[in-house]
A = this chain, B = another copy of it.
């Protein structure tokens, strides 16, 4: 098949020579632009096939001043929700014909150099799944016409779009569920140094509880975990029990905390749903398992990813449209820890 012994890969020049046409026509065929006669197209395609020709994306990007790459900033993939979000983004990015440039970032400082690297690759867009995009850097992106989208966070940065699960809707669903099942003493569990979305979820929940008349102002019990994740939730439960407190219903900022809190309570002799109800955020696989059967708020990762990409493409088209803030509806998945009736 490939009978060129050179290890160097074939260029459009080579294809043109073999097909007996000009390089411009080859380019026209592969970039699907401009007119080219049926006959010529076929000759070119056959020559390309014979030589195993593939467009050089670096040269293409250099010329177009834009690569078909999309930069994705992630953090803490050990959190199952994070990794499922990344999975959804990857899937949608590939479906749209882009390639994902993924970087893991630990502190805000790293985020800055990361985004800068993205610009050096002339990415078509940047997706920030965690952390706050530094305002001045974003301005730089806007200047280079690079769209930036943040996930699960709202901020007032001009020309930067945000896609976020509907935390107010989640709060409503949970409040209704608690009321329906007769819970009266209700707590909110969150990590001390929570993310923006964690804090927002708590704020929305407090607000709804007051609106629904379940709690008085400032009456919602806050339980704070000193470390994040499963162990944080577990230790919080232990301290909670040691202080002799009790609750009817607990709403948790994420699934890890919820699982940990439930296990912590179990270690102290309390179980759900017999002794109390508990609802978590992020419908991770673990929450569905036999040991937990946790009632949770489900975030629609696929829809989120879709909206993210449509935002990117819209702003790639016209960089100066108004800031777009999308709220993605959530679902309440009812399992054992806060059952149907």
Contact = CB atoms under 8 A, between A and B. Distances in A.
Nearest to A56: B120
A230 B290 CA distance: 9
Contact of A102 (B84, B102, B289): B102
Interface stretch (A42-50, A75-83, A218-226, A329-337): A75-83
Interface stretch (A137-145, A151-159, A205-213): A137-145
Given A67-B58, A286-B286, A101 B104 contact: no
Interface in A73-116: 74, 77-78, 80, 83-84, 86-87, 90-91, 94, 99-104, 116
Contacts of A33: none
A103 B77 contact: no
Given A7-B144, A52-B140, A83-B78, A266 B290 contact: yes
A78 B67 contact: no
Contacts of A267: 290
B145 A7 contact: yes
Contacts of A145: 7
B91 A87 contact: no
A292 B86 CA distance: 27
A162 interface: no
A122 interface: yes
Interface residues of A, number: 56
Interface in A116-168: 116-117, 119-122, 140, 143-145
A259 B289 contact: yes
A235 B325 CA distance: 44
B104 A103 contact: no
A61 interface: yes
A253 B42 CA distance: 51
Contact of A78 (B52, B84, B234, B263): B84
A194 interface: no
A77 B284 CA distance: 12
A186 B185 CA distance: 49
Interface centre among A122, A143, A267, by most chain B C-beta atoms within 10 angstroms, is A143
B58 A122 contact: yes
Contacts of A91: 104
A101 B103 contact: no
A274 interface: no
Interface in A260-274: 260, 263-264, 266-267
A37 interface: no
10 contacts: A54-B116, A58-B58, A58-B122, A59-B62, A69-B101, A78-B84, A83-B83, A101-B102, A230-B285, A263-B290
Interface of A: 7, 9, 52, 54-59, 61-62, 67, 69, 72, 74, 77-78, 80, 83-84, 86-87, 90-91, 94, 99-104, 116-117, 119-122, 140, 143-145, 229-230, 234, 259-260, 263-264, 266-267, 285-286, 289-292
